[in-house]
Amino acid sequence: MTLNRIPTLGRVRRQFGWAMIAPAFLTLFLMTIYPFMYVIVVSLFRWSIVPTIPRVFLGLGNYWIMIRDTAFQKTLWVTFTYTIGVVLVEMFVGFLLALLISTGKERWLRVAFLLPAIIAPVVVGLTWRFMLSYDLGTANYFLKAVHLKPFNWLGRPLNALLSVMLIDIWQWTPFAMLIFLAGLESLPLEPYEAARVDGASPWQILKYVTLPQLTPVIAIVLMFRTLDAFKTFDVIYMVTRGGPGNATEVLSYKIWQKAFFQNQLGYAAALSVVAIILATVMMNIFSRILSKAQTRT
């Protein structure tokens, strides 16, 4: 009798386990898997946002158009330039600020540095747009106050790209600083004491003690900030709208423009698929870096 009950109990436990994970799996399917599959389907059509316009099956036609589109190639260049530039500066400055704050006792400095990160990106973009205005902006007002010529922050391609990168650096450097600060304060003190006893200089302590132990934290900051900067949209939309020309047109903004401004949902879906693939590749690279860093530590 007991032997006959064992398969039954095992079956009940399996069914109970499936019942427990069913809500999470259903949520994942409805919120992630199904939308992604739908985007792939849309990318295979000439799809209009107007329901009355017929949909034409193109297969991989949208992807072929994308490959031949020089504007798309420039968008990729702008996106990666923007992403790499802001991430490198934010990590470097954030790490320096974390080192500076970790050695002091002024708690109010931490709050002051974190203020930009808690402001909504739309508000940040709108504020900086007024500040960088050529005629009425406060930035040029102060330049004029010290008898300097006003600077065309947003009217020239390179200036506009550097300006939106500056805005991103101003807002998200505190995020990198906070993560680095948490990592620094969690490091054990014994290696530092041993290094000081051996006569190591501050630079040697930083190079051979702090940075090797902080490698997993560096990888986490790199992963989060790269993926977040790669899909930036709010600041670009509020400050430059991708201009002048398409000098600041990143991939996220181009997807929005193609879908809702130029009525090309199929092409926008193809751009979205490419963006997801690129983000997935970057995530896998950073995950491998993080796993290697954890094995070393």
pLDDT tens by residue, 49-92: 887 788 899 989 999 999 998 999 999 999 999 999 999 999 99
Tell me which H or E stretch contains 35.
helix 34-42
**Mean pLDDT by groups of 10 residues along the chain of 297 residues:** 57 83 87 90 90 86 92 94 95 92 70 83 92 91 91 93 95 92 88 86 88 88 91 93 91 93 92 92 82 67
CA separation for the pair 202, 209 (Å, rounded): 10
Helix (H, G, I), strand (E, B) or coil at 46: strand
In the chain, where the domains are located: 34-296
Give the CATH H-level superfamily of domain 34-296.
MetI-like (1.10.3720.10)
Q: What is the pLDDT of residue 16?
A: 82
The reported pLDDT for the residue numbered 293 is 66
Q: Give the whole-angstrom CA distance, residue 147 versus residue 149.
A: 7
Asked whether 225 and 174 are in contact (CB, 8 A), the reply is: no
Q: How far apart are the first and last CA of the chain?
A: 53
What is the SS3 assignment for 258?
helix
pLDDT in tens, 118-137: 888 899 999 999 999 998 89
